[in-house]
Amino acid sequence: MKKNLIDQTALITGASSGIGLQLTRRMLSEGWQIIALVRSEFPADDTLIQENLGKKQLRIYKADLTDFGSLRSALNQIKAKETKIDLLFNNAGGSFAELGFSRQKREMHFELQTVAPYIILMELKDLLLKGNLKTVVNTSTTAFRFTKKFDPDTLEHPVSFKKLIGPYAATKLALSLWTHEIAPLIGADGIKIRSADPGGNNTIRSGKKSGLPFYLIPIMKLFFSHPSQGASRLYEAAMGASRDMSGVFLVKNQVRELPFAEESRKVLEKVRAIYEQEFAVIANT
């Protein structure tokens, strides 16, 4: 398999820890070229990672995805140095412990999990078009199954905060909704896009304030899977039985209906407006 995939390139956000790290390790071991768009460092004691850094099979670009200046700089570097992207994994995300806001004064979950993936897709679209697979996988969640109300107008500035089932779940749902809505639009160019749930994975990191409800932390430690399982689900979402589908939300590689699908156009219009009015306009001046 390594020989067959050596000319394929994947960009993975959030590649230096958790599910993203395991996905990076798996794909490197299969011979993929990996572009890592990350904020934090890779483990210094990971032999596979360090060897591939030395061979430049793994190439790192640093950015805070919630800071448009930082993100713009990294994306410009990628566009200048890379020749193509076959697979784009918009994987970066996380559940924050409290309500916080980005440099652009929007809620952090929304900026990181809904807006940034759209910007990355739009900015790197030309590199995707030069690739063979032309596939995007956005990491979502089934946590939004507990969402009772969904209002796109409150995503930027929520009126309340709950760990996991509040802004985290709502913004992951928004991600899946715009993924569904944009599919036929970018499909005209041959790009396929899907969102996928990586399942319950033990991604707790020591020294980091948890965005999980207190009762879920011991459950996650005892019963949730190693992040390699989540990585496998994302890989299957890209390369498995659903590889010819676009706009779908996958759970264990099975298509599932999205709640509040009637709001998908509004969500797409919102993220598109942010991109065009705040990000792209500066990039093009």
Q: Which residue has the tokens 């032999």?
A: 47
pTM of structure = 0.92
Instruction: Give residue 2's pLDDT band: very low, low, confident or very high (50, 70, 90).
Output: very low
> Please, are residues 114 and 178 in contact by the beta-carbon 8 Å criterion?
yes
According to CATH, what is the number of the domain 2-283? Answer: 3.40.50.720
Higher per-residue pLDDT: 227 or 211? 227
Residues in the chain: 285
Instruction: Give the CA-trace dihedral at 118, 275, 144, 108, to 10 degrees.
Output: 110
Instruction: Give the CA-trace dihedral at 81, 82, 83, 86, to 10 degrees.
Output: -170
> Helix or strand or coil: residue 73?
helix
pLDDT at 213: 58
Q: What confidence tens digit (pLDDT) does each residue in 242-256 have?
A: 999 999 999 999 999
Mean pLDDT of 156-161: 94
Q: What confidence tens digit (pLDDT) does each residue in 23-61 have?
A: 999 999 999 999 999 999 999 999 999 999 999 999 999
Is the model's pLDDT at 171 over the cut of 90?
yes
**Which DSSP category does 258 fall into?**
P
Q: Which residue has the tokens 């591939």?
A: 52
Question: How far from chain centre, in Å, is Cα 165?
Answer: 18
